[in-house]
Structure 1
Amino acid sequence: MTQAVQDIQFRATRAGAASVRGAALPLPSDFALFSEAPAPVLHQPQEVMALLAQACPSFAPEWLEHQRAHGHTLLYIAASAFAHHLLSLCKAGDASCFEAVAACLERAFRDGSQAVREFATIGVLEGVQNVWSSDGADADHFRRHLGSEGQRWWQSLTDFWSGKVPYVGYAA
């Protein structure tokens, strides 16, 4: 085990962090989501899910279980589970992670490959829109936290589903 992993486990244990099958979950401060250093390009959609699990620590056990069961496959299923998780948080009156989640999505749009941007739009944003609307919840409770790129892609999805544009990302 590397020293870095031991340090993370020590800090998580010291802080009373949750664990999954005996392994301490890293603390959000261990991930430098909002560091000053330039963010590396995100190449794979699973990188987005890992960032979202860091931004929303209460989802981390579910993401770890998904990885254990499916590896880095079925990511749209994981994105749907994440949308359900955000809805349950909203219903409980807990939007504390929404800003960090929105920042992760903004990073995916800004620093992601085409596959990453597509997953952030179709997997995550559309997942929130569908899951929340199917439940009768107001997805604007989440949308208002999105940055400019997230807002743009959210609106593109809305325009597509309302028949205003022929495809998501269409620019007139």
Structure 2
Amino acid sequence: MSENNVNALSFEFDRSNMFVPLLQADPSFREKWETFQEEYRSDEELPLYLAMSELALHLIQDLETGDTHRFDAVFDVVERWHINGDPYVKEAATVGLLEDLQNGHLHRKTRPDDFLPWLQPETLGWWNKVHEFWATGKPII
């Protein structure tokens, strides 16, 4: 394994850098991200859970239009958030993103489970925990 790969595996995402790889994976989200940053520029900290909701809506819209060619890269980032993220990033990826992707009220032409083909192992585990929470009330974390 090269030194770059070792560094990538040990890298930890936090609030300050978690959207950098996402914007590389899905440049079409950049305009929404910039609008979000502008809207909340006066806040002490960006409410990233709201940004995750924006991302979920963006991905649901892409799924509805069949524009899924970036999904492998996007969900690779989501997997890295779950594995290499600090506690805030991990929770935001689960409660902020996955929970909204599973919200059936946000889907018009699709179903939440339509995202399953792109979920990697760690993310799939958290997806299932969110699903179980909604079905039984069992706490996610």
The corresponding residue for 1:41 is 12
From the two aligned structures, give the one with the greater helix fraction. 2
Give the alignment partner of residue 97 of structure 1, picking from 70, 75, 87: 70
Give the alignment partner of residue 64 of structure 1, picking from 27, 34, 39: 34
Unmatched tracts of structure 1, length 5 or more: 1-34
Alignment of 1:1-172 (within 5 A): 36-39=5-8, 40-44=11-15, 46-71=16-41, 72-130=45-103, 133-134=104-105, 135-136=107-108, 137-163=110-136, 166-169=138-141
CA distance in 1, matches of 2:100, 2:123: 13
Question: 3-state SS of the aligned residue for 2:12?
Answer: coil
Structure whose alpha-carbon radius of gyration is higher: 1
C-alpha deviation, 1:59, in angstroms: 0.7
Q: How big is each residue's C-alpha offset from its partner over 1:100-136, in whole Å with a ceiling of 9 and x where there is no partner?
A: 1111011111111111110110011112111xx1124
Identity of aligned pairs, percent? 31
Question: 3-state SS of the aligned residue for 2:5?
Answer: coil
**RMSD of Structure 2 on Structure 1 (CA):** 1.7
- Check conservation: 1:49, 1:79, Cα contact below 8 A: no
Unmatched tracts of structure 2, length 5 or more: none
4+ residue segments displaced more than 3 Å: none
CA distance in 1, matches of 2:82, 2:69: 22
Q: How big is each residue's C-alpha offset from its partner over 1:20-56, in whole Å with a ceiling of 9 and x where there is no partner?
A: xxxxxxxxxxxxxxx6352221122x53333322211
Normalised to the residue count of structure 1, the TM-score between the two structures is 0.69
Q: Which amino acid aligns with 2:34?
A: L
Structure 2 CA distance for partners of 1:63 and 1:158, relative to 1, 3 Å = same
What is the aligned residue count? 131
Q: Which amino acid aligns with 1:51?
A: P
Q: How big is each residue's C-alpha offset from its partner over 1:56-83, in whole Å with a ceiling of 9 and x where there is no partner?
A: 1111111012112214412122111111
Normalised to the residue count of structure 2, the TM-score between the two structures is 0.83
CA distance in 1, matches of 2:13, 2:22: 13
CA distance in 1, matches of 2:58, 2:138: 30
